[in-house]
Amino acid sequence: MVKFNVPLILVATLVSSASLPALAQTSAIQASLSDPNSSVQGRLVLAAAERVYFRRNTTGSDLNGTIQGSQHHDYVLGARAGQTMSTYTMGTSDFLVQVFAPNGSNLYTGTENWSGQLPSSGDYHLRISLPPGQETGESESYKFTVVVE
Same domain, 65 and 126: yes
pTM exceeding the 0.85 threshold for the entire prediction: no
10 has pLDDT over 50: no
Q: DSSP states of 53-121 as a string? A: -PPTT-SEEEEEEEEETT-EEEEEEEE-TT-EEEEEEEESS--EEEEE-TTS-EEEEESS-EEEE--SS
Three-state SS at 38: coil
- What's the structural domain count of the chain? 2
11 has pLDDT over 60: no
19 has pLDDT over 70: no
Same domain, 69 and 96: yes
pLDDT tens sequence across 89-146: 998 888 999 999 999 999 999 999 999 999 999 999 999 998 888 777 788 899 999 9
Same domain, 13 and 66: no
pLDDT tens sequence across 21-38: 333 444 444 444 455 555
Same domain, 38 and 103: no
Which residues make Cβ contacts (< 8 Å) with residue 53, sequence separation at least 6? 22, 23, 24, 61, 77
Residue 52 covered by a domain: no
Same domain, 28 and 91: no
Same domain, 16 and 66: no
Q: What whole-number distance in Å separates Cα of residue 143 and Cα of residue 65?
A: 7
Same domain, 75 and 126: yes
Same domain, 62 and 37: no
Kindly report the CATH number assigned to the domain that includes residue 88.
2.60.120.380
Nearest-CA neighbor of 94 among 69, 129, 68, 123? 129
Domain residues for the domain of 28 are 9-47
Residue 2 covered by a domain: no
Same domain, 24 and 63: no
Residue 134 covered by a domain: yes
Residue 40 covered by a domain: yes
Same domain, 74 and 139: yes
Residue 1 covered by a domain: no
